[in-house]
Structure 1
């Protein structure tokens, strides 16, 4: 059964923005979250944990980019989360 046309994105630029927000933005948030953990936990444990939780979190963030009604809010949220989560790592390891 094909999808209902009224729920599909008509603009190819909006569709591309959702794809990029989900892939690139989701990856940036995932990596910055694990950088956040390396600022407080042993690096070896975080690397092993990132192998499992990284893909799951990235997949959820990718899905959220397509479910959200406004892609610009998704970009803003992912950018803000990336900066906030990476800040403890950057301040601790790069004085």
Structure 2
């Protein structure tokens, strides 16, 4: 049974933005989150488990991007996570 046309996106720029947000933005957000955790807590425990939990968090961000209809909101959420993690990394270093 084919998909209902009213739920499909017609704009090419929306499709490309969602794909980039899911792949690139989700990976950067999950890696920066785990780096912030490793700097705030013991990295001997965080880094080995981040090899597995990084892909789980990346999958969550990919689902989140496609669940939200507007790609600007998706980018906004991902950039907020990246900025918060980067600020936590900066505070842990200083």
TM over 0.5: yes
> Aligned residue for 2:24?
24
**C-alpha contact 1:30 1:57 (8 A) present in aligned 2:** yes
> Aligned residue for 1:84?
84
> Aligned residue for 2:50?
50
Q: What is the alpha-carbon distance in structure 1 between the residues aligned to residue 46 and residue 12 of structure 2?
A: 38
1:36-65 CA distance string (max 9 Å, x none): 211221212111111111101101110111
> Aligned residue for 2:60?
60
**C-alpha contact 2:21 2:65 (8 A) present in aligned 1:** yes
Q: Could you tell me which runs of 5 or more consecutive residues in structure 2 were left unpaired when the two chains were aligned.
A: none
C-alpha displacement at 1:92, in angstroms? Answer: 2.6
Q: What is the alpha-carbon distance in structure 1 between the residues aligned to residue 17 and residue 25 of structure 2?
A: 10
Q: Could you tell me which runs of 5 or more consecutive residues in structure 1 were left unpaired when the two chains were aligned.
A: none
Task: Please state whether the residue corresponding to 1:3 is helix, strand or coil.
Answer: coil
Pairs aligned (count): 94
Dislocated runs of 4+, deviation >4 Å = none
**C-alpha contact 2:40 2:92 (8 A) present in aligned 1:** no
